[in-house]
Structure 1
Amino acid sequence: MIAHLVRERRHGRTPNLLSYLAMPTVGAGVSLYLLTRLDDVALQIGGVWLGIGVVYLAVLTKGFRRPAPEMTFDDDTAATDAVTA
């Protein structure tokens, strides 16, 4: 969010600081609080799942030499595909 905020400012737009800084900070605080309350087994399973994700990303990016794939949600394409199907 901070990188997006910086990009918005570079383009001359003035985004709402509450939605770009305050809310993500509150969300991160709540997430950290919840992580401290998890059982050890849940933390181990989550760590393994995170490790699998990092290995998968390394394979997709050929050892982090290519950019990571981006997800796009284009509503126009979905509507066009539904009509043509």
Structure 2
Amino acid sequence: MVLGLVFYFLRKLVFSTYSYTILMSMLLGSAVSITFERLIAGCVFDYYNFGSKFYFNLPDVFILISILTLGYLLSIKPIMSNFIKWALKKS
């Protein structure tokens, strides 16, 4: 039941008017934070091991998938749906 309420809230948030701005700023903030953390922490802790900067562990993969999914939902999907509506209206 709690999970259902969380999904209901997220669905309402995604389709609300100002949610695209909020979610896009969250997306950009998390991307900058992750990039900063990976570069700085990688340089400090792995100074002599340059190969570790290209190593992805499981949390990094999940973060990358979530960022790509949010980017798709916020940019590509609304643009494509508006284009499809426009194309159907023209024909």
TM-score category of the 2 structures, normalised to the smaller one: 0.3 to 0.5
TM-score (norm 1): 0.34
